Amino acid sequence: MNKKWEFYDIDETKIEKISNKFNISNLLSKILLNRGIVDENKIETFLNPTRNDFYDPFLLPDMSKAVERIIMAINNKEKVIIYGDYDVDGITSTTVLKKFLKERGLETDWYIPNRLKDGYGLNKTAIETTIKDKYSLMITVDCGISSIDEVEYANKLGIETIITDHHEALDTLPNAYAVIDAKRKDNEYPFRELAGCGVVFKLIQAISISLNLDAKEYLKYLDIVCVGTISDIVPLIDENRVIAKLGLKLIKQTKNLGLRQIILESGYKKIDSNTVSFGVAPRINACGRMGHQEDAVKLFLTDNLDDVIKITDELNSYNIQRQITEKEIFEEALHELEKYDIQNLNAIVLSGENWHHGVIGIVASKLTEKFYKPTILISFEGDEGKGSGRSIAGFDLHDALVKTNMFLEKYGGHEMAVGLSLKKEMYQEFKNNFEKIAESQEVKQITQVIKIDDILSIKDFSEDIINELEKLEPFGVKNKMPLFLFKNLKIDSIRSLSEGKHLKLTLKDDNNIINAIGFNLGYLSEEYHLGDKIDIVGSIELNVYAGEKNIQINIKDIMKSVNY
């Protein structure tokens, strides 16, 4: 697939001004401008966020109502249940709210639906069998915004519901006691991209303010909230950046035994966004994907070290099972795609019998990355189908489901990722109509654009540059790791790693030599040869191995040089 390389269009005259005012390099100034951070007040917050940069939680819709109701439940020692979700965001949201309320003297129960049996979000069966006649108040976290029928059912049973969510709201809201979601149509909160755990953080902040508690009573949970925020792939800007930046500092000294152990088991030595995204998140998510969602909550809640070690070992085994299953489904999907002219497809919609629907979302993401087309995978068990979808920039996946909702039993999500369920008899009509929507938007004409921050040469490399770029951490959506163009590098050595999966290079520029790694680019070892001159777009990073530090390029894309 051809990719387009582009530089950002910025006002060069501002670079020097920002550099001088904030005592940072011209390179860092340019990257900030590339990210759209031009307001000088926002630059200071971006580089050095503090607890004072959190917005007033009472600006969120229904926050006052929710806080009053929860304080009444605390005072009356009511029976309260927290209804969460099975991913990292839902797990961390459940953990934070339960721990916080326990410290206020309210012991709550919690319920996480089984992904394989219950599916996503509120369901009537759980309300009937688990919640009926036991609880007066149910608080949802990371779910509930589209559960109109389920909330009405709870109302009939005499259960009041407070919804805290961050997913897209429909035109009609559930008839709950309170609905806290910055994506409500009537929202006036200044930032609408909070993760589910971010909304819970604002809730406990608001309760703390109402009860005149010290700020540390809610700030101390930023380590767990940070994990949920980074893992849920929300934009790491504005208030999410404040959460993530302060939270990463807290993770380094976390008192949560479960979080500490899972980081230890991940093997990551440095605490940054990569540690959370690739070390912590996959292990927590594996619990929900493989149907053991309760283990992840127990890991964060327990104070018993023996239990922590045991649960962490189980999480590692779930993650291995997940990796094996994911590989099998990915290979089946690739085999199925061989029947199509992939270049002429606007979208990929595939189904399989008994595909593990806890894993198909990851496979959809991999296919989207490989072919750069919106992808939906559906697993059928008998007549029932459950699906997951991932999208590309420029195609609103949630909007496409809204337009095809007549073929669906249930759906939810946002622009870039969705979940859905449908009957087998509706599959072909859904597929045809979904593909027509993609065709009408000329998705196959969309080219993946790689935005380049600057041109560098090997002689520019130093540990000082690495250290300064770390000021931009944590990296994520809307704050991508900086990418640089390196021109006319000569291939000094080239080979594939991990059975042909990855690419390993040493590159030469005059008398300077540097290592480069290309993850999932192993196939290029057959296209390039010793002595070839190439241009590379990639990030620079510090690789520490056997106690030695070396700067290397992490390759994003390669092409043969034309100007040498």
Tokens 């912590």 -> residue: 280
Q: How far is CA 400 from CA 344, 357, 372, 408, 414, in A?
A: 19, 21, 17, 12, 10
Residue 552 has, within 13 A of its CA and on its CB side, a CA count of: 19
Q: At 167, phi and psi to the nearest 5? A: -80, 170
Q: What is the pLDDT of residue 307?
A: 96
Q: How many CB atoms lie within 10 A of CB 130?
A: 14
Render the burial of 263-291: b for 16+ CB within 10 Å, e for the rest: bebbeeeebbbbbbbebbbbbbbbbbbbe
> 446 versus 201: which is more confidently predicted?
201
Task: Give CA–CA dist 301/308, Å, rounded.
Answer: 9
Task: Find out whether the peptide bond into 474 is cis, omega within 30 degrees of 0.
Answer: yes
Closest Cα to residue 248, out of 261, 232, 229, 267? 229
Task: Give CA–CA dist 282/263, Å, rounded.
Answer: 12
The residues spanned by each domain of the chain are 3-37+450-560, 53-314, 340-446
pLDDT in tens, 105-157: 999 999 998 877 777 788 898 898 888 888 999 999 999 998 999 999 999 99
The CATH number, out of the four listed (3.90.1200.10, 3.60.20.10, 3.30.420.10, 3.10.310.30), of the domain defined by the range 340-446: 3.10.310.30
Topology of the domain covering 3-37+450-560:
OB fold (Dihydrolipoamide Acetyltransferase, E2P) (2.40.50)
Instruction: Looking at the structure, give the CATH architecture of the domain made up of residues 53-314.
Output: Alpha-Beta Complex (3.90)
262, containing H or E segment: helix 257-266
Q: What is the pLDDT of residue 465?
A: 87
> 60 versus 476: which is more confidently predicted?
60
Q: What is the pLDDT of residue 393?
A: 87
Mean pLDDT of the chain: 92
pLDDT in tens, 278-313: 999 999 999 988 888 899 999 999 999 999 999 999
Whether the CB-CB separation of 177 and 161 falls below 8 Å is answered with: yes
Q: What share of the chain has pLDDT > 90, as a percent?
A: 74
Q: What is the pLDDT of residue 1?
A: 55
Candidate from 265-269, 386-390, 429-433 with smallest mean pLDDT? 265-269
Whether the CB-CB separation of 5 and 450 falls below 8 Å is answered with: yes
In sequence order, the 6+-apart residues with CB closer than 8 A to the CB of 13 are none
Q: How far is CA 402 from CA 411, 412, 420, 564, in A?
A: 8, 9, 11, 52
The tokens for 381 are 């068990």
Q: What is the pTM of this model?
A: 0.88
Candidate from 46-50, 128-132, 419-423, 452-456 with smallest mean pLDDT? 128-132
